[in-house]
Structure 1
Amino acid sequence: MEKPDNKFEMTVDLNVLEHLGINLYSNIAAVLTEAVANAWDADASSVQIRVDPNNEWIEIEDDGIGMSVEDLNCKYLRVGYRRRDEDAEHGCKTAKGRPVMGRKGLGKLSLFSIADVIEVQSAKDGGKHGFRMTVSDIKKAVQDKQKYHPKPLADDALTVTQGTKLVLREIKRQRLGKGVTALRKRLARRFSIIGQANGFEIKIDGQPISATDRGDLPKAQFLWTFEGYDPEPSTIAHVVERESLPARFEAWDTAWRVSGWLGTARKPKDLDDDEAGNLNGIVVFARGRLFHENVLDRLNDGRLYTKYLTGQIEADFLDADDQPDIATSDRQRVQEDDERYIQLIAFLGSQLNKLEKRWNEWRRKHEVEKAKETSPALAEWLESLREGHRKNAETLIAKLSALPVDDEDDRKTLYKHGILAFERMKLRGSTDEFVAGVESADKLLAVLADRDALEDSLYRDIVRSRLEAIRAFQKIVDADEQEKVLQKYLFDHLWLLDPSWDRATGTEVMETRLLNSGIVVDDLTEKEKLGRVDIKYRTTAGKHIVVELKKVGRKMKLLELQEQGQTYVDKLKKILLAQNEPTPNIEVVFVIGKPIEEEASNPDRLKSSMAAISPGSRIVHYDTLIRGAQEAYSAYIEQGKALDKLEKIVDRI
């Protein structure tokens, strides 16, 4: 006769227990997910979760089909029982036709992550049975190289009448999280099958969990739904713009498709939730339960819109019965080299590109209208802009309106600084660059500095100083000054060569700085050592420009310029190679006073000679330089009246 204490038997290796049980999960929601998934697989219609106010115990009770002693031993207590493979009748679909969630047979071990004592009792076919497991007893049995026999519960301790009941005792308090409210939200975000439509409810302390407990959809200002998914109208009444997305790639297998939605909040801080966790991410479900906590991280998309993004998608093809299991042991992440997952990432990436384009349009439309309502002066400024500039300005205002600023006076200050900076960048032809860079208050302030500095650089002082600089340069040229004088002046006013170089302060390096910068190049030829680079400049795009100046009255020959330019290129390549830049983009610009013979007689030869030095190399004349600078900066004069008007608008905001 079998001893009563040996009625139940569990076989488990200590390493399995520690790695797939005690140390597998770090929070209570992940653990309870496994218990709830088991209730779903048992065809339960209800799962009741009760948490002791003093955190002494947690109960999970379902009204499913329950388990007999044989079931408890052969299925529940057998670690690694693979129902989908071993149960021919209801391994993949339950008697109710539900797709089975469980797969590896490891979920029951997760309970040991939060409790040292677990009681299991179950009722089936008129009988009820139960036992108690403890971590200490299991470890002892393993160390003694014995099978572990959970202790049966006394008959009067069995309170279950239908289904299965789990009681967790000796709770590890550090893993309980932030309480029942947080647990409700976190569980809601781990299942998409909660509700009447699926005949399945979860209650915590008697209160049902609903889809609204997830807290993410109510945050959506703009919504994108995949074809075939239609949320309850009452849950999206607050959404101001909505669009449909395809549910699959055309080339996919017909059974592959996604469902669900993606949304963007009005402000990133709207997605902060102390209880549910940060909602800035895309949750992936398969068979109605969490499969990937945040697939957005895997997309490696750093664009601004992702800071506003949230969503839930279903992708059942990730967990197909006839395909290998790609979920990790805790079933919260996946093996990322699986073709199904790769295809999902590619599909989401393509849809998010569409989403980002529409998001920019909708944001500009709604945020600008809201800002204009609060500030008529702002509306006046926008109306004063040409259409091309107005689009960038509206994008700027939309970004500023969504920055995390609580005080509206502070937001108005941001608008003021933003307008001043925009006008400054407009004069310099770089509003696109400026608007694209405004992603946070810190970045904005770094661009703007302070208002006085902006006004100093924006108003008529700029006009006067630039035009005076051009006149002074012309006097130097007219006086046929020495090369060193011309070199020093152009070094301090690089914008004379090209207005776009104005923003590169501090990146120019004269010959002494280039060779004395701590870079040792041993293989320069004697000819290269004697060569002198007047100015070396590296653009923000990574282009290196060498500028060689000649006295205004000196007559140069093409062959002389070509030889000198090639020497500079060879020399600079060796120096840059020592800086780990093996294929630099280099241009040589010769600034001369008198035209060379080939400019008139053989322009094709001139062109090929310059290209032989390096692509983009060219000759410019001092007179052309001065005339071009005068034309480029004469626009500042015309801006004077507009700037007076702008100052009045800004003061009214």
Structure 2
Amino acid sequence: MATEAARLQIQFHGRVIEHLGIDMYQSPVAAIAELVSNAWDADATEVDISLPINIRSGSEILISDNGDGMTLTQCQDRYLKVGYNRRADQGAEKTLSGRPVMGRKGIGKFAGFGIANLVDVETVSKETGERTVFRLDVERLTGSAAGYADSTPMEVEVLDYSGPNEQAKSQHGTRIRLQQLTIKKTPNSDQFRVSMARRFLLMERAEDFTVSVDGTAIAEEGSSERIEFDYPSDYDEKQKPAGIKIEDGWGVEALPTGEEIRWRFVFYKEPIQEEDLAGISVFSHHKLSQRPFTFNLSGGIGGQHAINYLSGRVQADYIDDQEKDLISTERQRINWGSEQALPLLKWGQERTKSLLRIWQGRRAEAKVSAMNLRMSPFSTRLGKLEPYEAKIVKRALTAVARVPALSDSQFDDLANAILGAWEGGRLKELINELSNSAELDAEELVGILAKSRVMTALHAAEHVRSQLNLINGLEERIKAKQLENAVRDYIAQNPWMVSPEWETFRVEKGLSNLMEEISKETLDKEDAWKARVDLVLSSGDQLLVLEFMRPGKTADWDHVYRFERYIESLRDVVDVRRSEFRSVTGLMVADKLERPAGFARKLDRLRRDGMDATDWAGLLAKAKSQWQDYFDILYARAPEDGRMQALATTRSSESNPEGAESSDS
């Protein structure tokens, strides 16, 4: 038969395609999964999926299989017959090779229209060697090109046809080309493989069926290292449900109605982020029937937080064997209100609730065990505590370890904070409260930490107050003209008073000879620098140089240029020597600063380059302002606390004592 004589027709209302093709399958994985199912039912052993490198005009997706293919007559009677039910029409629950048939509704073949406007089908029959190529155009089928489609049979465009051919039988199979793609985002091959694998149980049940994406077989991601508990394998003997059998890591059980199911649930170490992995999926005949869910469980169950870590699969073939179809068209939901599905739902609820409780206990045990291992580095510190104190701290850590909402890293942070607080003599009452909590949930922990936040803020506020008092002490030294070693030593002990950011800085003595050499070249020739007090501080890879001009001297343009040259010279030497210091900054302090035209702009440019020049009044005013800002932040954490209010009142009276003149007077 010539191509011209080969005719195919399709007969249905145009809206069928819109509802069953476009509306139901708008994700590439969902659409192509239906075509993979068809390949399974055609007894294919290999399916190859080719994704586009990018989405642009002319991009296409190709799905090829080596299944039985179709004759021209089968293309008409099976493929182009909407709602063709192989099980009902042929009375076949299994394929010729003995596989359970996946397809049932006879509409999955139109899933490609969910992501493409053109579908080309090329098929070679294993039975006759016939080769048929035809095209389905969504615009023609839905009537958008030529009015609304009616029920009159519509001619399908046959692109090519060749009759029976004995030699062509070996080339059997079907190739579907999806063109004029409507998806906006290019599918990622790696993620596509994982998502496709999660829609089938083929990896565990079918050794003679391989699906590849861009040349690589689909498989579940290698996530074994992410899994903490695997059930039923990880059941203790006393925890095993009655009548369960374990085969290859899967549990085999019979429902009260006699139907057999298989299942495997795992708990991950961290909360699951992937939507198609979080929860329990139900499969029938290897194919997804119910997207991940938790058997419609609501709140108020023990260990509920564990749901965020739970993933699992249930194989319930009987769901797809019922006379009435219980699975939604797009294979996402089961009709759980049906009499046949209800026993599975109740089983799932009980099994899930049981495992959530088991997880909570096992998780706590694991955390306590890990805690004991992590406690070993603290042994020296714990040994310095009185025995009863060490016992309290350990009990507090155990209580925190039992809170399932905490990740391991969060637990580590809290454990260190608790031990550090006890050593510092802080929060002992709260730590005692923690140690006496046999069962502590996330809400109770938050309440205790809220109290801890107040206590920590109060402690920090008291620290800020003492810092401000020290700044006042420095002001007194300056008023007494102690601008030599006393001031240098005072700042060396309290570098934070120059700026709160410098609280970690300490005196650096390793560069004293170098500093002296450079300063003689750049500073000592100037009379204003003689008998100066200099101080070099360091923190990590940062070097901070403070230069104090002689008492009574006013800094002018020349002094600023000389100081700039000094810092730049030091930076050059540090760079050449490749020392541990990567940042060199400087601060020059004088009794007064000149204010000629352009001088302020010069100082601004220096500050941006890590060099500053100021007078004593400006230096201390800035330090006070920064510490006061810090106090205000701490106060905002506990404004209702009477102790914090008392500190604020004290600060206010010290800043403006009664009878003191204002700065404007």
1:148 aligns with 2:154: yes
1:68 aligns with 2:71: yes
In the alignment, what sits opposite 2:486? none
In the alignment, what sits opposite 1:201? 210
Bigger Cα Rg:
2
The CA deviation at 1:62 is 0.8
The CA deviation at 1:104 is 0.8
2:401 counterpart (397, 406, 414): 397
Query: TM-score w.r.t. structure 1 length?
Result: 0.58
**Partner AA of 1:449 in structure 2:** A
In the alignment, what sits opposite 2:46? 46
CA contact (8 A) 1:266 1:402 kept: no
1:172 counterpart (176, 182, 204): 182
CA contact (8 A) 1:202 1:209 kept: yes
Q: Hey, what's the Cα distance between the residues in 1 that align with 2:262 and 2:391?
A: 39
Percent identical pairs in the alignment equals 24
Kindly tell me the number of residue pairs found equivalent between the two proteins. 427
CA contact (8 A) 1:284 1:290 kept: yes
Equivalences for residues 378-397 of structure 1 within 5 A = 394=398, 396-397=400-401
Q: Hey, what's the Cα distance between the residues in 1 that align with 2:390 and 2:110?
A: 66
CA contact (8 A) 1:382 1:390 kept: no
The CA deviation at 1:45 is 0.7
In the alignment, what sits opposite 1:28? 28
CA contact (8 A) 2:43 2:67 kept: yes
Distance 1:143 1:57, change over 3 A: same
**Partner AA of 1:288 in structure 2:** H
Distance 1:355 1:393, change over 3 A: farther
Q: Hey, what's the Cα distance between the residues in 1 that align with 2:65 and 2:372?
A: 55
Equivalences for residues 357-506 of structure 1 within 5 A = 357-376=357-376, 394=398, 396-399=400-403, 402-403=406-407, 405=409, 409=413, 412-413=416-417, 424=430, 431=437, 435-438=440-443, 444-445=445-446, 447-449=448-450, 451=452, 453-454=454-455
Distance 1:118 1:245, change over 3 A: closer
CA contact (8 A) 1:220 1:263 kept: yes
Q: Hey, what's the Cα distance between the residues in 2 that align with 1:392 and 1:407?
A: 12
Distance 1:132 1:292, change over 3 A: same
Q: Hey, what's the Cα distance between the residues in 2 that align with 1:383 and 1:377?
A: 18
Distance 1:287 1:452, change over 3 A: closer
Distance 1:50 1:456, change over 3 A: closer
1:252 counterpart (257, 266, 289): 257
In the alignment, what sits opposite 2:83? 80
User: Which deviates the most, 33-42 or 392-401?
Assistant: 392-401
Distance 1:228 1:63, change over 3 A: farther
The CA deviation at 1:451 is 2.9
**Root mean square deviation, CA, Å:** 3.9
Once the two structures are superposed, residues 302-342 of structure 1 have per-residue CA deviations (whole angstroms, 9 ceiling, x without a partner) of 6111111111121112111x431101111111112112322
The CA deviation at 1:431 is 2.5
Distance 1:147 1:155, change over 3 A: closer
Once the two structures are superposed, residues 4-33 of structure 1 have per-residue CA deviations (whole angstroms, 9 ceiling, x without a partner) of 377011112122111111111221111111
Partner of 2:203, secondary structure, is: coil
Equivalences for residues 318-337 of structure 1 within 5 A = 318-320=319-321, 322-337=322-337
The CA deviation at 1:209 is 1.4
Q: Hey, what's the Cα distance between the residues in 1 that align with 2:386 and 2:29?
A: 50
Q: Hey, what's the Cα distance between the residues in 1 that align with 2:53 and 2:277?
A: 27
CA contact (8 A) 1:217 1:311 kept: no
CA contact (8 A) 1:264 1:308 kept: yes
1:272 aligns with 2:281: no
In the alignment, what sits opposite 1:317? 318
In the alignment, what sits opposite 2:344? 344
CA contact (8 A) 1:364 1:395 kept: no
**Partner AA of 1:310 in structure 2:** S
1:126 aligns with 2:135: no
CA contact (8 A) 1:265 1:308 kept: yes
CA contact (8 A) 1:44 1:200 kept: yes
In the alignment, what sits opposite 1:480? none
The CA deviation at 1:391 is 8.2
Q: Hey, what's the Cα distance between the residues in 2 that align with 1:418 and 1:316?
A: 59
CA contact (8 A) 1:393 1:422 kept: no
1:161 aligns with 2:133: no
2:229 counterpart (204, 222, 229): 222
Q: Hey, what's the Cα distance between the residues in 1 that align with 2:368 and 2:334?
A: 41
CA contact (8 A) 1:400 1:411 kept: no
Q: Hey, what's the Cα distance between the residues in 1 that align with 2:403 and 2:415?
A: 11
**Partner AA of 1:326 in structure 2:** L
**Partner AA of 2:70 in structure 1:** M
CA contact (8 A) 1:45 1:200 kept: yes
CA contact (8 A) 1:405 1:411 kept: no
Once the two structures are superposed, residues 619-639 of structure 1 have per-residue CA deviations (whole angstroms, 9 ceiling, x without a partner) of xxxxxxxxxxxxxxxxxxxxx
1:289 aligns with 2:290: no
Q: Hey, what's the Cα distance between the residues in 1 that align with 2:197 and 2:334?
A: 21
**Partner AA of 1:110 in structure 2:** A
In the alignment, what sits opposite 2:107? 106
**Partner AA of 2:142 in structure 1:** K
Structure 1 regions of 5+ residues with no counterpart? 233-243, 459-653
CA contact (8 A) 1:290 1:332 kept: yes
Distance 1:67 1:298, change over 3 A: same
Partner of 1:120, secondary structure, is: strand
The CA deviation at 1:86 is 0.7
In the alignment, what sits opposite 1:14? 14
The CA deviation at 1:217 is 5.1
Partner of 1:9, secondary structure, is: strand
Q: Hey, what's the Cα distance between the residues in 1 that align with 2:120 and 2:357?
A: 54
Partner of 1:375, secondary structure, is: helix
CA contact (8 A) 1:120 1:130 kept: yes
The CA deviation at 1:152 is 0.8
**Partner AA of 1:54 in structure 2:** N
Q: Hey, what's the Cα distance between the residues in 1 that align with 2:414 and 2:186?
A: 36
Distance 1:400 1:418, change over 3 A: farther
**Partner AA of 2:257 in structure 1:** W
The CA deviation at 1:432 is 5.1
Distance 1:195 1:263, change over 3 A: closer
Once the two structures are superposed, residues 33-55 of structure 1 have per-residue CA deviations (whole angstroms, 9 ceiling, x without a partner) of 10010011111111111123234
In the alignment, what sits opposite 2:518? none
1:187 aligns with 2:187: no
Query: TM-score w.r.t. structure 2 length?
Result: 0.57
Provide runs of 4+ in structure 1 moved above 4 Å. Answer: 215-218, 226-229, 377-393, 404-411, 414-423, 425-430, 443-447, 454-458
Partner of 1:17, secondary structure, is: helix
Distance 1:351 1:164, change over 3 A: same
In the alignment, what sits opposite 1:94? 95
**Partner AA of 2:15 in structure 1:** N
**Partner AA of 2:13 in structure 1:** D
Q: Hey, what's the Cα distance between the residues in 1 that align with 2:78 and 2:403?
A: 56
**Partner AA of 2:441 in structure 1:** A
Q: Hey, what's the Cα distance between the residues in 1 that align with 2:273 and 2:428?
A: 31
Partner of 2:74, secondary structure, is: helix
The CA deviation at 1:92 is 0.9
Distance 1:325 1:110, change over 3 A: same
